[in-house]
Amino acid sequence: MIVDQDETAAIEAHINSVVEKYRQYVNPGLSRLLQFGGFGDLEVSAEGCTVTLASGGTCLDFLGGYGVFSVGHRNPAVVSAVKHQLDRMPLSTRAYFNEPQALLAEMLAEIAPGNLTYTFFSNSGAEAVEAALKLARKSTGRTKFISTEGAYHGKTMGSLAVTGREKYRKPFGPMVPGTTFVPYNSAEAIAAALDSDTAAVILETVQGEGGIVPAIPGYISEVRRLTEAAGALLIIDEVQTGLGRTGKLFGCNHDGVQPDVMTLAKALGGGVMPIGATVFTPGICDAAFGENPYIHTSTFGGNQLACAAGLAALQFTLAEDLPSRAVKSGTRLKDGLTSVLESHPDALTEVRGLGLMLGVEFAVQDVAELTINGMARRGVIAGYTLNNPKVIRFEPPLTVSEHEIDQAVQAFGEAIAEAMELLHDID
């Protein structure tokens, strides 16, 4: 017993020392937020849907790194491919050809919609968007972009300039000029904003950070028609929706749309490696890279380790038909969340989303925060959406089991009941 107490004290001291280093050397505000949100522990290992913490507890990952862990944590096929590559050559000299990059680009061309044939590789979603914006300007000779209110495309200067929330743009202004923001899901608004200097319209097929807002059927295809007529490009940002998350391989498959440029990241790294990819048409390739193949580059982009992870992740996604699993498991999760909504109509206003990209909207932001905290104490990770903190999102691995879904729904229901009781007592 004494030994146990000593051990517990040692673990707590260890956790506190890491938290303190975050406070001193990483980001004091973030450190406070994580602790306050019920995440004052260390993640030490993970497998499938489960993360093990330094305190000895485990939790189910229903945030899934905002869509990173579609094939699960440490998927054996991805880990093995990466280990194999690590023992041979992890990074490129950038002087020679590297095979994993060629194979991954070929596979992306095979599965991407329409004639998206060429891929520029980078290391993150924001970089994939940066490349898309630059390719659009260079290949059209035009400068303006149309994006949507609530959109999230990243936080580098270019991607931030098309991110639809003033709060994140304003402190860093002036932005890259030329972006008009229009309401999401309004093709009329895009029609009104398009002109002869529009290089591209950039859209998510489900606004993730905007609060899990799916495109209404017909919206993306109508924007496709409008952009084509205006001589502008359509960039579809599939960084969060791509590779099965919404129940189709790509979100734009729901509307049968072929964009000119598509961005991928998150799940493409198989939950093991960071990677970004911008996939585009031969015409864009010619116009952008024709004269100078080095016009846009990235030192680490297309490295062997990341591409080996990407290949293994794609092969697993196709072999296991993860899009279908997202539909089936998504239905179970949505039904479960809806039954919680029916028990708490005063706290919750809507359950929405596609596949395993689901969001629950709360009437009041405080209840959402308390619920996330209560779920964490019950061993389930959830998170709010960055541009709409009233929405809790659920994006577990697409490999999640029925039992894990039921556990998460139960934790969600209990955490809401507790939050409502607490607020009732305060009132």
Ligand X SMILES: Cc1ncc(COP(=O)(O)O)c(C=O)c1O
List of residues contacting ligand X (CB under 6 A): 66, 124-126, 129, 152-154, 204, 208-209, 237, 239-240, 265
* Contact predicate 245/268, CB 8 Å: no
> Rounded to the nearest whole angstrom, what is the least distance from the CB of residue 163 to ligand X in the complex?
8
Shortest reach from residue 21's CB to ligand X, in Å:
23
Residue 382 CB, shortest distance to ligand X, in Å, is 16
In this structure, what token pair is assigned to residue 424?
């009732």
Find the shortest distance in angstroms from Cβ 67 to ligand X.
Answer: 7
Q: Which C-beta is closer to ligand X: that of 210 or that of 336?
A: 210
- What is each CA distance from 123 to 263, 268, 353, in whole angstroms? 12, 11, 27
Q: Which residue type, as a one-letter code, is found at position 26?
A: V
Residue with smaller CB distance to ligand X, 68 or 416: 68
Q: Which is nearer to ligand X, 302 or 413 (CB)?
A: 302
Beta bridge partners of 383: 393
Closest to ligand X by CB, 40 or 65:
65
Q: Which is nearer to ligand X, 153 or 254 (CB)?
A: 153
In the complex with ligand X, which residue's Cβ is closer, 160 or 419?
160
Structure tokens at 218: 């017909």
Q: At a CB cut-off of 8 Å and minimum separation 6, what does 223 contact?
A: 187, 190, 201, 203, 234
Closer to ligand X at the Cβ: 22 or 168?
168
**Side chain identity, residue 215:** A
Tokens 């991407």 belong to residue = 112
CB of 39 to ligand X, least distance (A): 18
**How many residues in total does the chain contain?**
427
Q: CB nearest ligand X: which residue?
A: 125
Question: Residue 20: exposed, middle, or buried by beta-carbon count in 10 A (0-12, 13-18, 19+)?
Answer: exposed
Q: How far is CA 242 from CA 34, 230, 266, 360, 426, in A?
A: 28, 27, 8, 21, 43
Count CB neighbours of 217 within 10 A.
9
- CA 362, CA 295: separation in Å to the nearest integer? 46
Q: Which two tokens stand for residue 132?
A: 């898309």
Beta carbon of residue 10, minimum distance to ligand X (angstroms, whole number): 35
CB of 129 to ligand X, least distance (A): 5
Q: In whole angstroms, how large is the CA radius of gyration of the chain?
A: 22
Closer CB to ligand X, 267 or 311, in the complex? 267
Question: Which residues make Cβ contacts (< 8 Å) with residue 179, sequence separation at least 6?
Answer: 144, 145, 146, 147, 161, 162
Q: How far is the CB of 108 from ligand X (least distance, A)?
A: 17
